[in-house]
Structures are given as C-alpha cells and as structure tokens.
Structure 1
Amino acid sequence: MEKHQETAVSQMRKSVEKLGSSTQNYGAPTLLRFLIARRMDPEKAAKMFVQWQNWRAEFVPLGFIPESEIPDELNARKIYLQGLSKDGHPVLIIKASKHLPSKDHLQLKRFVVHLLDKTIASSIRGREIGNEKLIGILDLQQITVKNIDARALITGFQFLQSYYPERLAKLFLLSMPWFFVSIWRMVSCFLEKATLEKIVIVTNEKERKAFIMEIGEDTLPEEYGGKAKLVALQDVKLSHSPSQN
C-alpha cells in the first residue's frame, strides 16, 4: 500500500470513530474500497462506511440472506455462478429471459444481497482479504417485453454503488436487442461514472473474442464460447458462509 493510501486509511479510521462507529474488524483493503469510491476523501468514505454498517445491521441482521427468504427468485433459476475468471474474479451470469418483474420488491432486494454475497464469498480462498471483485454477465438473448424490469436493474446497481463499493470488476452485456436500448439509456442515468466505465456492451466479433479471453474458456459456459456447463446459483455449495462484505 502506498504512503498516501496509508494516510487516507488512517484518517478514515479516525473519521469513522468520530461518527460513533469502529473499523476495528476491517483491514485496509476493505477501507480502501470505500476511499476509492469517494475519490480518496476520508470523511466522505467514513460516512459511506458507517451508512453501510448501519444498512447491513438492519437489512442483513443474520450476516447473510437465507434461501428460505427468497424462494420465488431462486425458483426462476436465472442466476448462474461459474467459478473464477483468468484474473481470479468469480463470474456471475444473469439470464434476463428467465426474469419476470416481481411484485415482491423486498424479496427482490434480499435476492440481490444474497447473490452478491454468495458470489463474493465464492472467490475467497481461506481468509477474506476485503478487496475481492466480481465479473457480471447480463445475457439479454431471447428477452421479450415481459422480461424488461428497469426497477430491478436500478436496484441492483444502486446496491452495488452504495453497499458494495469497488466490488464490480466488469459487467458484460450480451445480445442487447434494439428495443432494450432506450431502457438501458434510462437505467444508465442512475449510474456513477466509475460504474459506467466498467460496463462493456459486446456488439461485434472482436469484442466477443476479447470477452471470451478475459473470462477464460474453462470458466465460460459452452453457449458463450467456453467449455463449461451452466451452474445455477443455488447449486453452488460453499465450504464457508458468505462474508460480511
């Protein structure tokens, strides 16, 4: 860690204490994620960190969201967890054609937390460092108007930006149909510049090859140009519980 980062982390710890909380159980890599998300401003990062702590305590009191609280979302079998990319990031695939807008928005929010926590936990080998990132793939192939759910997309991104800072390494959008372009433009208005810079819309053969190269054929499912089989999120068994993130 560079000197200016060490200084920023030290200042952030003091700012968190002034806000009535503590960073005692968190290492520098975790705090750096919040600092980076707030352009290395210790006070702003401290405020974001405390807000995150309060949110976790209220929304995820058990430390994780059990499958019993999200049955409808899991039954759709629309999320897949494929192992690690070449750079060691867990790969999450969302099949939008299997998604239908939910009337139970609270269950949707819990599902977002469940899938993010489990994806991050799947990358941990031994002890969590605190700076683990994930790669997302949003597969828009064969979607119809009934699958479009701007609110779900916005919720997912808002959670990433507010409660999982610097957890997203990259997000690939595949097979975007023409009628989804206007929806994406609207959703993009809710995204921070740093988030937008991590999103790649794959539109041609060159980009597709780069996408396959970055993920790795051994991890990417066959239907996307790899050699692996799709593995549903609930079929992935972890040897440890999802982290506190």
Structure 2
Amino acid sequence: MEKTREIAVSQMRKSVEKLGSSTESYGDTSLMRFLIARSMDPEKAAKMFVQWQKWRAEFVPNGFIPDSEVQDELETRKIYLQSLTKEGYPVLIVKASKHFPAKDQLQFKKFVVHLLDKTIASSFKGREIGNEKLIGILDLQQITYRNIDARGLITGFQFLQAYYPERLAKLYILHMPRFFVSVWRMVSRFLEKATMEKIVIVSNEEERTNFIKEIGEESLPEEYGGQAMLVALQDVTLPQLEV
C-alpha cells in the first residue's frame, strides 16, 4: 500500500511539471490529500493541485486573509474556534442564528478562506505537516427564515471541496428544524459523495452521545455537553497569521 502511494505521488509530481507548475515546496503528505480527493488518479490530482495553486496565488496573495479584510463578518461573532480534540483536530463552531446572507459576496468568500485557514493553522504543532483536518459544528438552534443562506452554505462547501481537499474530518449539524430540511436537500446536491459521508445530522440521543465522545468534553463548550468556554474566532491569536 505504501509503495503504491509513493508511485502515485511520484507520478503526480511529474504531471504537475507537465502542466507547467512545481511541487517543490510541498511534501508527499500534502500531495496525498489531492490524490485521495481524486481517487488516487495522479493526472486528475495534478490538475486539481495546479488549479488550487493558481487560485491561491490570485485570491490569497499574502498567504492569509487578515481580520481587517473581513471585519463585517467577524463583528457578528458567529464563528468559534475551540481547542484540539484528542485526535488533534481543531473544532470550528458556526452559530447560524447569528448569520445573515452577505451583501458583499467577495468579503464573504474571503471570510470562508480566513476561517478555514485559521482553523487549520491552529492545529499546527510547530509547522504544517500537510494532512491536518478540522471538525465542524453547524448549530442551527433558534434560526429563522432570515438566517437561511443556501448560497453561503454552497460556497463554503465548494471551497472545501475544490481548495481544501481532505481537510474536513467530520461535520456535525445540530438542532436542524423541520423547515430547514428542504434547504439542506438542495444544498446536498452540490456535495460530493466523500463530503456527504463526513456529515452527521445529530437527531437522537445516541448520535448526541457519540458526538460528545468524539470531540471530547475538554474541547466541547458547556452548551453542547462539554466543559469548555466558547472562544470567538477573532479572540484566538496565532503568531503565523499575524501581519
């Protein structure tokens, strides 16, 4: 199995060079994420990797999106970044009742990149290895029709799938109201099979118990059955993301 992976990574590196780009700055672990996302097909993985490189260079030229560029989205304090689970995954919590569809779509897209980059960076132990993942919690408690943003959800998932392959370990959806089921059905059409398999809609006591167990009480805020305090995304400081 290990030999097969080595061959696939080697073939992918050659394919990236044929496409006029380079993998020199990236370790095998980073490239494996693209290979897994493209069913271990070196050519498809190389194409995805080059598209990611081009997007990253154009959309995130400084390497990260600073708070100052997404201030409107941060002000709502709807995103929380918790400490790592026992497996080393950072926990990203979205309180949908504090979210409203964005008037500025470009800023919203930058915000998606900002929160994903910051969440992944929070799991670095000294430096990036390349296979870091995150656990997401989408809390739909107390949402109203004004909070519904199918476009925003689709954008978030599309960014994850196209530009953050194999970064999502699991996504838990909590407190889904009946009126949101049709919205979720529509959003689901835009999700790849591999993404859908990582999503758990917590709807009974057994699923809730598993959810608490997987994340761990130390990382999970009290309101979700843990012992931690909620920490807003902007209150988490990471040296590697400071100007």
Query: Do both proteins adopt the same fold according to a TM-score greater than 0.5, normalized to the shorter chain?
Result: yes
In 2, Cα distance between equivalents of 1:66 and 1:84:
22
TM-fit CA distance, 1:85: 1.2
In 1, Cα distance between equivalents of 2:152 and 2:76:
15
- After superposition, give the CA deviation of every residue in 1:132-188 in whole Å (9 maximum; x if it has no partner): 000000000000000000000000000000000000000000000000000000000
Conserved? CA contact 2:66–2:241, under 8 Å: no
* Residue 165 (structure 1) aligns with: 165
Structure 2 SS opposite 1:240:
helix
In 2, Cα distance between equivalents of 1:165 and 1:217:
28
* Residue 37 (structure 2) aligns with: 37
- What is the identity, as a one-letter code, of the residue corresponding to 1:135? I
Can you give the 5+ residue segments of structure 2 that lack an aligned partner in the other structure? none
- After superposition, give the CA deviation of every residue in 1:13-54 in whole Å (9 maximum; x if it has no partner): 000000000000000010000000000000000000000000
TM-fit CA distance, 1:119: 0.1
TM-fit CA distance, 1:241: 2.6
- The question of 1:147 aligning with 2:158 is answered no
- After superposition, give the CA deviation of every residue in 1:187-214 in whole Å (9 maximum; x if it has no partner): 0000000000000000001100100000
In 2, Cα distance between equivalents of 1:18 and 1:37:
20
- What is the identity, as a one-letter code, of the residue corresponding to 2:38? R
Structure 1 SS opposite 2:103:
coil
In 2, Cα distance between equivalents of 1:47 and 1:155:
21
Conserved? CA contact 2:8–2:40, under 8 Å: yes
In 2, Cα distance between equivalents of 1:77 and 1:50:
34
Moved over 3 A (4+): none
Conserved? CA contact 2:83–2:91, under 8 Å: yes
TM-fit CA distance, 1:86: 1.9
In 1, Cα distance between equivalents of 2:63 and 2:217:
34
* Residue 54 (structure 2) aligns with: 54
In 1, Cα distance between equivalents of 2:106 and 2:128:
28
Number of aligned positions between the proteins: 242
* Residue 65 (structure 2) aligns with: 65
In 1, Cα distance between equivalents of 2:128 and 2:113:
18
- What is the identity, as a one-letter code, of the residue corresponding to 1:155? T
In 1, Cα distance between equivalents of 2:13 and 2:105:
35
> TM-score normalised to the size of structure 1?
0.98
In 1, Cα distance between equivalents of 2:205 and 2:177:
16
> TM-score normalised to the size of structure 2?
0.98
Can you give the 5+ residue segments of structure 1 that lack an aligned partner in the other structure? none
- What is the identity, as a one-letter code, of the residue corresponding to 1:150? A
TM-fit CA distance, 1:127: 1.6
In 1, Cα distance between equivalents of 2:25 and 2:80:
31
In 2, Cα distance between equivalents of 1:23 and 1:172:
34
TM-fit CA distance, 1:87: 1.1
Aligned pairs (5 A) from 1:169-184: 169-184=169-184
Structure 2 SS opposite 1:114:
helix
* Residue 4 (structure 2) aligns with: 4
* Residue 120 (structure 2) aligns with: 120
TM-fit CA distance, 1:78: 0.2
